[in-house]
Each structure stands twice: as C-alpha cells, then as structure tokens.
Amino acid sequence: MSIILDHINYIYGEDTTTPVHALKDICLQIQDGEFVGIIGHTGSGKSTLMQHLNGLVRATGGHIYYNGEDIYDRDYDMKKLRSKVGLVFQYPEHQLFEIDVFSDVCFGPKNLGLDRKETELRAYDALRKVGLPNELFYQSPFELSGGQKRRVAIAGVLAMKPEVLILDEPTAGLDPKGRDEILQQVKKLQTETGMTILLVSHSMEDVAEYVDRIIVMNDGSVLLEGAPRDVFSHYEELEAVGLAAPQVTYILNEFRKNGLDVDTSAITIGEAAQEIARALHR
Amino acid sequence: MSIIKTKNLTFEYIRRDEEGNVEGITTAVDDVTLNVRAGEFIAILGHNGSGKSTLAKHINAILHPTEGTVWVDGRDTSDESQVWEIRQTAGMVFQNPDNQIIGQVVEEDVGFGPENMGVPTQEIWERVAESLRAVGMYQYRKSSPNKLSGGQKQRVSIAGVLAMHPKCIILDEPTAMLDPNGRREVIRAVRGLNDVEKITVVLITHYMEETIHADRIFVMESGRVAMEGTPKEIFSQVERLKELRLDVPQVTLLAHELKGRGLRLPDGILTTQELVEAMKRNGYL
C-alpha cells in the first residue's frame, strides 16, 4: 500500500505562448504510515505536486498509482480517491462557513452520503482527534482563535476518514505555541492511527522535529530526498535554492570550526544540547 | 523625541449574534500606555488574539480608541481632520502582499501613494526610484508584480509605503506567508530602512529570530503590554515566554538547555556569534 508517482510532468498554458513546466519528471514513492515533509521555496512546485495526489490537478504526463491502481484509469473512482486522500489547503479556516463548529465538521461526511448517526460520530471523533475542547463544539467557528479555527478545518478533513492527510503549510500565521500544538496533534495522528502524513512547510525547524523523511523541491524537480539529518547536512545546497537548515545545524558547524569535536548532524535543540554536552565530556 | 505615544489606550468592540443582539463586549486593547521614540526599532510579540494587530491599527488611525488617546508625531488620531497627515506619517504593511499590490508594473504600484497625495510628477519618479533602491528592488521596476516572489512582492509593498515619505512604518506579520529566503530579504530591507534612513519601525511578528536586532520588544497578552525590554532582557525569560505561548530564538533555547546541563553561560544569548564567544570565554571552545 503506497502512493507511487511515475515520471509525473505537469505543464500548464501549453496552448499559449508562455507554457510553464511546473513539475518535471517527478518519481517518488510514499509508504503507508510515513510522515513526509515537503520543502521548497515559493513557486518550487510543492503545492502543485500535492494537488496531484488527490486528483485535483491532472498530470500532463506520467502515472500516479494509489494502492496499486492507476488513478488516471478511465474507470477509476476519483471521488473515492478524494475521500481517501484528504487535502488541507493553506489558510483552511477561510473555508469554514457553518453556523457552529460541529455542523462544519459534519459537512464532509454528510456529503459522502453517510447517515446522520455515522456523520455525527465521525465529526465528534475528528474534533477529539484535533484536541478541540468540547465546550467549543456548538460555538460559531468565527469566534475561535486562529489556531482553533485551523484545527476545526483539519477536523473537517479528518471526518472523511482519509488514509492520507496532506497539510499545506498548516502553521502559517500561528503563534509559536499554536504551531507546536498543531504539529504535535498531527504527529499523534500518525503514531496512533497509522495515517500517512504529508506536510508542506517553510519552517525547517518544524520539519526537522517531526518528519521521517524530507523531499526538497526546486524548480519543479526533486532536488534532495532522505532522512532529515541527511538532507540538512547538505545545507549549502539548500541555501543555494533559497532554503536553509535549522539554526542548530549552523551552530554545531560553528562549534566544530572552533575546535569542538561535535557531530554536526543533530537537527533539534535537544539532540544538539546532548551532543555538545557529550563532546565536552559532561 | 516621541513619534508614537499612547495614553491609557483601550479598544472595545461589541460582539453580536446572527440577529444582531448584543452578546458581549471584548476588550482587545486594555489600558496601554507606551512611548516610541523617533528612529527606534520596536518589535511586538504576542500570541494570536493578544491584541497586537488591534494596537497597530490604532497607530495609523484605521481604528480609534474607545478610551484613551493615541498621538502620532504629536497628532491626536481621533481628530478626523488629521487622518491624512497621520497616515502619511505612519504607513502600514500587511501580511499578504497580494492584497496590497494594485499596479500592473512595479514602479506604477510604488507611485500610487505619492500620486494620490498630489506630489508633482517629476518628484513621484524620484521617490519611486529612491524607494525601490532602498528595498533593493530597483532592477525590477519595469516588471509585473505577478512575476515576483513573495519576498520581492512584500518589498514592493514596503517601497509603496516608503514613497509617501513616512516617519514611521508599521509591519503586521510581513513575513508570515514567505519562505526562509523571502523572510530574510524583507527583514534585511526593514533593518536597512531603520539603520540608514532612520525610519521608526514597528514590527509585529511570530518569528522570534526577526526581533533580536530590535531596540525594544513589547510582549502583548490579553490586550495589555505584559513584558517590555531589550531583546536580551525579554529572551532571558524563557519560561515566562512559554507561558505567554511564545518562544525564544533557537540559539537562545540551546544556550538555555546547555545551562541546564551545568555549563556556565549568560542569559539571553541571541546570536550564534554571541554563543560561540561566550563558550570561548568560559573555556568550552
């Protein structure tokens, strides 16, 4: 069970004088239950790639296999794919519209044609999974804080019981605590339910802390791919394409230059502190 | 000399339900008294809903105080006849660059402000050129804003405000939607304006790293100023900031962790450079 992208190309405006080759020959495999981070500067093709995974955008070349089936097959059930691969857009709280939180989360499962009882069970379950307190369920979604609204929007997608959850910059505009809370909930979803998570992010620190694997996009192609510590060890290449490694990577490299025998592959504060303490024999 | 001054500033708004019945009153800014001197670089931190943006919108008279007074360069913002003067003195840059750019060509967009102020044509062009140079976007003056990256667009927005020759610029999370490179470009441009042009800057942000060069930081909580001080003073209080749903820069946090492991290090280290020097001084490097 996995998602396989086989030589995916996407060109838009092909019939105009300025066609854009947005995705260039992408080959990737995403395993069941993986937590994958996708990084890249603005315009590198991250979001376009994500929109291919649930069939919102159709590749102009190549194939996508979801659990072994080609989603571009003529008799493939695209609607089912969209309920299996949930996509949370940037600023998803702009899509909230119902009079209360609970009805908003019910909207998705209701449209799947589920009966009322199942719909409500799922909505309740989804809201619990994102850690929204019960007393907010019957409030207007517009009265919640930024972080709470965003959780409601994520719950709306979770209520569809997706197997894969794609989050496009879920923490943009949130305060630091709000960022941590959302990402911890997402991590918990992965570990507790085995859901596959794809996280598009501009924050290297967040990606370093939570994901199993990183895919670096640049100019429509995959530039680097691998475990966070491997990818961030190429920090000079990342800088060349407008990205960076987490700040601790730079600190450790600076320490090393100054003669401390540290392993520079640590990517979180905790790991780095431990590694420095080890090098100092403390 | 004071450029922004508030005295007992309070802003309340009435919440209404669907039928328009009053549900309650929210106090978004609660009795804030502060004073910003001309040429200062001020950063405002605070979690979502702490009142940062509401406070900022008072500085260029988008909002008017329910109680208390705000003076911008000596002008009372609740005096209707002064509104245009105030908005020229204190320009505002918002989060989403796409909502602020209206011109088809970069230089046209930047010229929009001075044109509306009735500046003579020749001078408009001079202002456009100098503003674009100040943010490092002069070579893109003939480009379409649609072709620019987020960081470049945001710098064009800043140039648009600069062309009105403000004494003060307020930036409300200008980097929230940008990638690391774009963030760096914008912050560098803003620091340049403050250092070189001596423009007063009020920067609202959720990224702690962007505030380490500020002269002073205000931390907002429930509409009040909960903490005030230099970056060093503020970021020395790691635990207090966490209570306020905030964070400290990564270097500061690492230094804090190392201290917890028994290393002798000062509080409030803000840059990699400082950490390396402190480590050397104490014989760790």
Q: Which residues in chain B have their CB less than 8 angstroms from residue A272's CB? A: 254, 257
Banded pLDDT at B16 (limits 50, 70, 90): confident
Among positive and negative, which fits the CA dihedral B181, B186, B189, B190? negative
A75 compared with B15, residue with greater pLDDT = A75
Distance from the B175 Cα atom to the nearest Cα atom in chain A, whole angstroms: 9
Under a CB-based contact definition with an 8 Å cutoff, are residues A210 and A35 in contact? yes
Q: Give the pLDDT of residue A211.
A: 96
Banded pLDDT at A271 (limits 50, 70, 90): very high
A231 compared with B49, residue with greater pLDDT = A231
Mean of pLDDT values over A207-222? 95
Q: Give the pLDDT of residue B22.
A: 82
Domains and CATH numbers, chain B: 38-59+76-237 (3.40.50.300), 249-285 (no CATH)
> Bridge-partner residues for B37, per DSSP?
B2
> Bridge-partner residues for B217, per DSSP?
B43, B229
Under a CB-based contact definition with an 8 Å cutoff, are residues B32 and B9 in contact? yes
Q: What is the gyration radius of the CA atoms in chain A, in angstroms?
A: 20
What are the strands of the beta sheet with B22-37, ordered from one edge?
B22-37, B2-16, B67-72, B75-76
Q: Give the pLDDT of residue A60.
A: 95
Chain B, residues 235-274, CB within 8 A of chain A, namely 242, 245-247, 249-251, 253-254, 257-258, 260-263, 272
Under a CB-based contact definition with an 8 Å cutoff, are residues A272 and A248 in contact? yes
- Say how far residue A274 (Cα) sits from the centre of its chain: 29
Banded pLDDT at A194 (limits 50, 70, 90): very high
Residue B205 has pLDDT above 70, yes or no: yes
Q: Give the pLDDT of residue B98.
A: 83
Helix (H) or strand (E) holding A193: helix A176-193
Task: Using a CB–CB cutoff of 8 Å, tell me whether A13 touches chain B.
Answer: no
What are the tens digits of pLDDT across the range B113-141? Answer: 999 999 999 999 999 999 999 999 999 99
Q: Give the pLDDT of residue A14.
A: 86
Task: Using a CB–CB cutoff of 8 Å, tell me whether A247 touches chain B.
Answer: yes
Among positive and negative, which fits the CA dihedral A255, A257, A262, A263? positive
Q: Which residues in chain A have their CB less than 8 angstroms from residue B146's CB? A: none
Q: Which residues in chain A have their CB less than 8 angstroms from residue B247's CB? A: 176-177
Q: Kindly list the distances between the CA atom of residue B151 and the CA atoms of B137, B145, B182, in Å, as whole numbers in the listed order.
A: 11, 11, 4
Over chain B, what is the mean pLDDT? 92
What are the tens digits of pLDDT across the range A30-67? Answer: 999 999 999 998 889 999 999 999 999 999 999 999 99
What are the tens digits of pLDDT across the range A63-108? Answer: 999 999 999 999 999 989 998 999 998 888 888 999 999 999 999 9
Q: Give the pLDDT of residue B101.
A: 85
Banded pLDDT at B164 (limits 50, 70, 90): very high
Under a CB-based contact definition with an 8 Å cutoff, are residues A148 and A136 in contact? yes
> Bridge-partner residues for A10, per DSSP?
A23
Give the pair of three-digit tokens for residue B95.
């989060």
The residue type found at B171 is: L
> Bridge-partner residues for B69, per DSSP?
B7
Cα-flanking dihedrals φ and ψ of residue B228, to 5°?
Answer: -150, 135
Give the residue from chain B lying closest to A262, CA to CA. B285
Residue A87 CB partners (closer than 8 Å, separation 6+)? A50, A51, A53, A54, A56, A157, A166, A168
Percentage of chain A surpassing pLDDT 70? 100
ipTM beyond 0.90? no
Mean of pLDDT values over B36-51? 93
Q: Give the pLDDT of residue A91.
A: 84
Rounded to whole angstroms, the Cα distance separating B109 from B164 reads 12
Among positive and negative, which fits the CA dihedral B142, B146, B148, B150? positive
Rounded to whole angstroms, the Cα distance separating B32 from B78 reads 16
Q: Give the pLDDT of residue B228.
A: 96
Give the residue from chain B lying closest to A257, CA to CA. B285
Q: Give the pLDDT of residue B18.
A: 67
Residue B124 CB partners (closer than 8 Å, separation 6+)? B111, B114, B115, B163
Give the pair of three-digit tokens for residue A142.
């517009």
Q: Which residues in chain B have their CB less than 8 angstroms from residue A206's CB? A: none
Going by the DSSP 8-state scheme, the letter that residue A167 receives in this structure is E
> Bridge-partner residues for B169, per DSSP?
B91, B201
Mean of pLDDT values over A249-256? 93
Report strand pairing: A213-218 vs A221-226: antiparallel
Q: Tokens 């997402």, residue?
A: A186
Residue A111 CB partners (closer than 8 Å, separation 6+)? none
Helix (H) or strand (E) holding A102: helix A101-111
Indicate which of A18, A20, A42 best probes the interface with B, i.e. most B CBs within 10 Å of its own CB: A42
Percentage of chain B surpassing pLDDT 70? 99
Rounded to whole angstroms, the Cα distance separating A39 from A197 reads 14
Q: Which residues in chain A have their CB less than 8 angstroms from residue B245's CB? A: 175-178
Under a CB-based contact definition with an 8 Å cutoff, are residues B5 and B76 in contact? no
Three-state secondary structure string covering chain B: CEEEEEEEEEEEEEEECCCCCEEEEEEEEEEEEEEEECCCEEEEECCCCCCHHHHHHHHCCCCCCCEEEEEECCEECCCHHHHHHHHHHEEEECCCHHHCCCCCCHHHHHHHHHHHCCCCHHHHHHHHHHHHHHCCCHHHCCCCHHHCCHHHHHHHHHHHHHCCCCCEEEEECCCCCCCHHHHHHHHHHHHHHHHHCCCEEEEECCCHHHHCCCCEEEEEECCEEEEEECHHHHHCCHHHHHHCCCCCCHHHHHHHHHHHCCCCCCCCCCCHHHHHHHHHHCCCC
Residue A127's closest CA among A158, A100, A97? A158
What are the strands of the beta sheet with A213-218, ordered from one edge?
A85-88, A164-168, A196-200, A35-39, A213-218, A221-226
The full length of chain A comes to 282
Cross-chain CB nearest to A269 (options B46, B151, B254)? B254
Mean of pLDDT values over A101-129? 94
Mean of pLDDT values over A19-24? 93
The residue type found at A94 is: H
Residue B200 has pLDDT above 90, yes or no: yes
Q: Which residues in chain A have their CB less than 8 angstroms from residue B206's CB? A: 173-176, 179
Do the chains contact at A175 and B258, CB–CB below 8 Å? Answer: no
Residue B168 has pLDDT above 80, yes or no: yes
Distance from the B130 Cα atom to the nearest Cα atom in chain A, whole angstroms: 27
What are the tens digits of pLDDT across the range B209-233? Answer: 999 999 999 999 999 999 999 999 9
Rounded to whole angstroms, the Cα distance separating B90 from B164 reads 9
Mean of pLDDT values over B20-37? 90
Banded pLDDT at B85 (limits 50, 70, 90): very high
Give the pair of three-digit tokens for residue B100.
């602020």
Residue B17 has pLDDT above 80, yes or no: no
Mean of pLDDT values over B154-176? 94
Under a CB-based contact definition with an 8 Å cutoff, are residues B78 and B65 in contact? yes
Do the chains contact at B206 and A173, CB–CB below 8 Å? Answer: yes
Give the residue from chain B lying closest to A41, CA to CA. B179
